[in-house]
Chains A and B, each alone.
Chain A
Amino acid sequence: MRVPLSWLKEFIDVKASAEEVAEILTMGGIEVEEVFDPYEELGELITVKVLEVSFPEKLKELALCRVTDGRQEFTLLTTAKDQVAPGLVLGAVKPGSMVFSGEKVEEKVVKGFKSYGMFLSPYEAGLGLEKDKLLSFPPDTPPGVSIYEVLKVVEPVLELAITPNRGDALSILGAARELYALTKWELREPSFEEGEGFELNEVVKIEDEDGCFRYTGRLLKGIEVRESPFYIQKRLWLCGQRPINNVVDITNYVMLELGQPLHAFDWETLEGRKIIVRKAREGEKLLMLDGVVRELSSEDLVIADAKRPVALAGIMGGEETGVREGTKEVFLEAAWFNPKRIRRTSQRLKVSTDSSYRFERCVDPEGVLKGLLRACELLKKEAGAKEVSRVIDVYPRPYKAPKIYVSFERVNQYLGFELNKEEVKEYLSRVGKVKEEKEGVEFIPFSYRQDLKIPEDLIEEIARIYGYEKIPTTFPVAELYAEAPLFEIKVLQKVREILSGLGFYEVVNYSFIDPSWIEALMLKDGDRRLKVLELANPLSVNQSVMRTSLVPGLIETARINYFREVSGLKAFELGKVFFPTDDVLAYEPYHLGILMMGYRDKDEWYAEDARFDIFDLKGVLEELFSALKLEVELRPYSEEPFLKRGLSFDLYLGEKKVGFAGGVKNLVLKAFDLKEVVFVAEVDLEALLEPLKDAWEKVEVKKPPKYPSTFRDVTCIVKKELKIGEIFKYIKSLEVPWLEEVKCIKIYEGPPIPEGEKSISLRFWYRAKDRTLKDEEVNQVQEELARKIFEHFGARPR
């Protein structure tokens, strides 16, 4: 909300600069976002000296003036032929700047003659009503200077950010009251007289007392609708509003000034000359001032005449009954509506106005009449209102101020330091009535401070008026206790450390994704990842469903990097995926996603420019699970339809599938517009938590060996299809004595090995725990083992 300092000064004796006032308000809880001068913001409105005036025939009504701003000469066109002459110093505005009427000035060309901006009238300069006169200066005024500098026009305006609890501060008077509370500068509370009026009975009826707590109104006759006087236009403009006509402007002016929204009806358009405050009928329609017809529901509160709704209460008036040119009689409304009802309707119909904004945030019930009277005063003065009715005031639920008790002890204990009684009473007395009661105060807030309801609210008032900055800074005294960190956080952290140590970058992707990303995975019917939680109001379709897998996000990460010159990427993500449940809440387990894209090493003197392959990914997973002390088996092949089957695993912990890994199919990558090799893995960390707890409890510590090991190699020729894993599994099943480890150290295909076969070399390590093994005993075991392997797999020695 904008508060012109000059307007504020009408209500309070400001004893500081605009910047200082801003600082006081900000540190008091009303944040001032900016102090600015709307005149300065207009742009380049400057003095120019007329050098030459000519009247080219083609231009007829226009004069062509050559002028200078002291640095540069340019031409301006004007219709005010008789007001221009060489030597005069006039006000002008350059292209790109704004003028008071809200127009943006552009360079114009008329019949080949250029007007680089235009001359200013006092009106366009925001200095007076005159529109046909040119703004002129004494001839010795230097050109090229801001006209406001010359005229010493300074209008600092404070831009206030008002929190939702402080509806009372949404006006000039409200800002003044707040400033008073913070500074105790002299406040001038306005008061207005009702004066004489003719009788007007049985006009207003409140049918919905829950919606309207108070309705005041007054009929004004002899209205002349015309342009507002300049001071009203100027103040509206300073507050960022456009003038419309005097009646509408006055309602806006009073709302800005006192915070009370008002509405003016054209009395003669009201059927039956009645004002009925009632619930709308379901489906009832209303053409509103913004030109939109809205369908109303029975929850909405309307102002109706004898026949139809004429305004959406507290939000916006109807088009048919609004004030227009020629309106002679005005019925002026000032009311106090139920904030909840106004908000509900405003939200449902998605229409918010200055009026609804204030009603939602609670207007001052005792300020309603003040608003009405102030507007009447102005309508008499500036809109010719001659005859006025008596004030109608229907007030079915009079406002009752709460009594709040707070003890001095509570204040001090809450704030953490000693504040004396007098100070407590003094600060509270600036926002309400205070009575010392027992060991505390009984407090009744001023009617405009409806946010003050409980003792803690009073403590805040005391604290902020005293000054948050002055409150001491202490450390709490609390009992010492400690809690072990959450296990899941320990696991996430461990995974983070392992993978970043292995050269992977952690990424964070959005939890909501494009539904087409799930489609791209080509999941089979019935896959639970197809059942996604959908957003009801997504920002866009590509963020409209909650992810059920980390894979699409990771492929997108790959794509972004690939297209921005990253040839190889190792990344991982730790984040939740979301599945619907029978409950409202989701099942949201943590998953780990791993990505390897493109080249392992590229463009390095030592590199072979090789792309990642499945064994890079497998190695990482093996190391990860080994470091996590979990025996996760990588079983070929995965059933995931988006993985290349021949290059994929499902991950098993015992007989439970906990994830998958493999190369992503090209067709899937194509959906992401990516032409580079991508390997991914995804692990359900939730499924690992319990096993991890067990695994981490008992760490097996290996000691350096006491006795030496010995190894034996076997090279044999086997069928090409034979999987090394099967040989390992077989060997394991044999329970060979002293055998510590087996490794495949070489695989060879090609001549002289016959087609369809391959040569494999295995190395066996033997070690006894209690002695050094003798060659003969190892040989014996090894020969027996080799024989079994050959026999079992139909292998032959090479």
Chain B
Amino acid sequence: MTSSELENLRKGALEELSKIESLSELEGFKVKFLGKKGVITQKLKSLKSLPLEEKRQVGSFLNRLKEELLRGIQNKEKELLFKEEDRDLGIDLTLPGRKRAIGAIHPLNVVINELCEIFGRLGFSIATGPEVETEYYNFTALNIPDWHPARDMQATFYLKNGAILRTHTSPIQIRTMLKKKPPLRIVAPGKVYRYDADVRHSPMFHQIEGLMVDKRVSFADLKGILTYFAQETFGEGTRVRFRPSYFPFTEPSVEMDIGCVICGGKGCRVCSHTGWLEILGAGMVHPEVFKAAGYDPSEWQGFAFGMGIERIAMIKYGIDDIRLFFENHRNFLQSFK
């Protein structure tokens, strides 16, 4: 067999391979050249009769050709398979997918979770307390005797059996201190109730209370913790300011404002043109509160704070009507998934 014959054999085979358009043709091709009775197999069998030198040359050519064809067949096979699967199936992929909708946690609980997490980093654990309370825990133990005008600050719902619906989460401070020895770091989220209803007030809303008691926790520390909270909640660049205020259960008392997130401090309707939004009330725990809870005020000091969850959520998400939280319309809830 001359080398040109061999070369023709190779060319012919490759050309035939290149024209193949189906897997069955390819199978035929494979049998034709490489099958038991295939051209190349036959030729390899007939090598025996050739002289040694020629046998070596022709043999190696045929083996290389065999390899080449096998590779070619493999490639061709891949090409044909892909061609089948890559064809246009006539399916309209612009149709929407089968809906597998997840639900959502209520925005108020999203905010509560977030705040608990922020304070959790600082070692505050979560405490709870009853929503139906006694006047003692809700007011008296918090240094708000019944004759005190400060009671006007919190319009109260009374139950017919003499209990009340707690007007703030602060009674949890007392209940926790009565149960646990200092030092103490807690946050206490929950529902509270006030006799009040309009666009900005709901008769039921949520608060989160915080309390830290230790030997040397100072007013400056209160500023530190609350500044950290504000910047974690509303963004790193959030400006805060602290104003003196009055709560019967703290002394000194303070209110914290953040720079208005709507107008950036220039003044707008939301912030009553002050550039500031009131966020929370806080202060150093009043000695009378410590006494009511059985802590020695000459030994322990600390701070407490409380804030409305709805207010935080409204500011964070730009919501202007508190009633949306309790209407529970799906479209509203969907925004928080």
Contact = CB atoms under 8 A, between A and B. Distances in A.
Given A561-B330, A576-B191, 10 more contacts: A413-B301, A459-B251, A459-B252, A459-B284, A464-B252, A496-B109, A571-B333, A585-B132, A585-B133, A586-B131
Given A163-B245, A473-B223, A509 B326 contact: yes
A414 B301 contact: yes
B155 to A, nearest CB: 9
Interface string B295-337: 0000001000000000000000000000001111111011001
Contacts of A576: 131, 191
Given A166-B246, A463-B219, A505-B334, A496 B105 contact: yes
A interface, size bucket: 35 or more
B99 interface: yes
Contacts of A588: 130-132
B106 A508 contact: yes
A564 B106 CA distance: 19
A557 B157 contact: no
Contacts of A417: 218, 220
Contact of A561 (B96, B98, B329): B329
Contacts of B224: 473-476
A472 B242 CA distance: 11
A535 B158 contact: yes
A605 B104 contact: no
B238 interface: no
B203 A482 contact: no
Interface string A461-499: 001100011011111111111111110110001001101
List 4 A-B pairs, minimum CB-CB distance, nearest first. Answer: A416-B218, A29-B244, A416-B220, A460-B252
Interface stretch (A339-347, A521-529, A627-635, A767-775): A339-347
B19 interface: no
A512 interface: yes
A34 B274 CA distance: 9
B193 A585 contact: no
Interface in B147-162: 147-150, 152-153, 157-162
Interface stretch (A104-112, A266-274, A536-544): A536-544
A456 B220 CA distance: 15
A570 B163 CA distance: 35
Given A510-B326, A537-B158, A586-B130, A601 B99 contact: yes
Interface in A22-75: 26-29, 31, 33-34
B253 A460 contact: yes
A466 to B, nearest CB: 11
Contacts of A464: 244, 252
A473 B149 contact: no
Contacts of B127: 486
A222 interface: no
Given A472-B220, A561-B328, A506 B106 contact: yes
Contacts, number: 256
Contacts of A572: 103
A605 B244 contact: no
A765 B113 CA distance: 44
Interface stretch (B38-46, B47-55, B58-66, B209-217): B209-217
Contact of A511 (B125, B131, B195, B219): B131
Contacts of B242: 468-469, 471
B109 A539 contact: no
A338 to B, nearest CB: 9
A511 B192 CA distance: 10
Given A414-B301, A476-B217, A493-B113, A506 B103 contact: yes
Nearest to A579: B132
Interface in B182-241: 183, 185, 191, 193, 195, 197, 203-204, 212, 214, 216-221, 223-225, 227-228, 241
A337 to B, nearest CB: 13
Contacts of A508: 106, 108-109, 325-326, 328
B177 to A, nearest CB: 15
Given A477-B216, A584-B163, A501 B103 contact: yes
21 contacts: A164-B149, A457-B251, A459-B252, A474-B223, A476-B218, A478-B185, A486-B126, A486-B127, A500-B104, A506-B104, A511-B165, A533-B160, A535-B157, A536-B158, A543-B203, A546-B132, A557-B328, A584-B161, A586-B130, A601-B99, A604-B99
Contacts of B158: 535-537
B254 interface: yes
A6 interface: no
A203 interface: no
A564 B99 CA distance: 21
A580 interface: yes
B218 A414 contact: yes
A507 interface: yes
A343 to B, nearest CB: 5
A97 B153 CA distance: 34
Interface of B: 95-96, 98-106, 108-109, 113, 123, 125-128, 130-134, 147-150, 152-153, 157-163, 165, 183, 185, 191, 193, 195, 197, 203-204, 212, 214, 216-221, 223-225, 227-228, 241-246, 248, 251-254, 272, 284, 286-287, 301, 325-331, 333-334, 337
Nearest to A497: B105
**Binding site of B, secondary structure by majority: helix, strand, loop or mixed?**
mixed
A511 B157 CA distance: 12
Contacts of A463: 219, 244, 252
Nearest to A601: B99
A560 interface: yes
B246 A164 contact: yes
Interface in A204-259: none
A744 B163 CA distance: 54
A415 interface: yes
Contacts of A557: 328
A377 to B, nearest CB: 31
A146 B268 CA distance: 25
Contacts of A166: 246
Contact of B103 (A26, A457, A493, A570): A570
Interface centre among B130, B245, B252 (most CB of A within 10 A): B252
Contacts of B331: 566
Contacts of A571: 328, 333
Contacts of A506: 103-106, 109, 333
A502 interface: yes
A361 interface: yes
A473 B254 CA distance: 14
Contact of A533 (B132, B225, B244, B245): B132
A476 B214 contact: yes
A463 B243 CA distance: 10
B149 A361 contact: yes
A414 B251 CA distance: 10
A415 B228 CA distance: 18
A503 B103 contact: yes
Nearest to B253: A460
A442 interface: no
Contact of B333 (A27, A164, A507): A507
Nearest to A480: B123
A454 B217 CA distance: 19
Given A413-B218, A508-B106, A508-B108, A360 B149 contact: yes
Contacts of B287: 454, 456
A585 B163 contact: yes
A413 B216 contact: yes
Contacts of A454: 251, 287
Contacts of B203: 510, 512, 539, 543
Contacts of B113: 493
Contacts of B163: 533, 584-586
Nearest to A556: B328
A338 B223 CA distance: 38
A614 interface: no
Interface centre among B183, B243, B337 (most CB of A within 10 A): B243
Nearest to B113: A493
Given A163-B246, A416-B219, A539-B195, A605 B225 contact: no
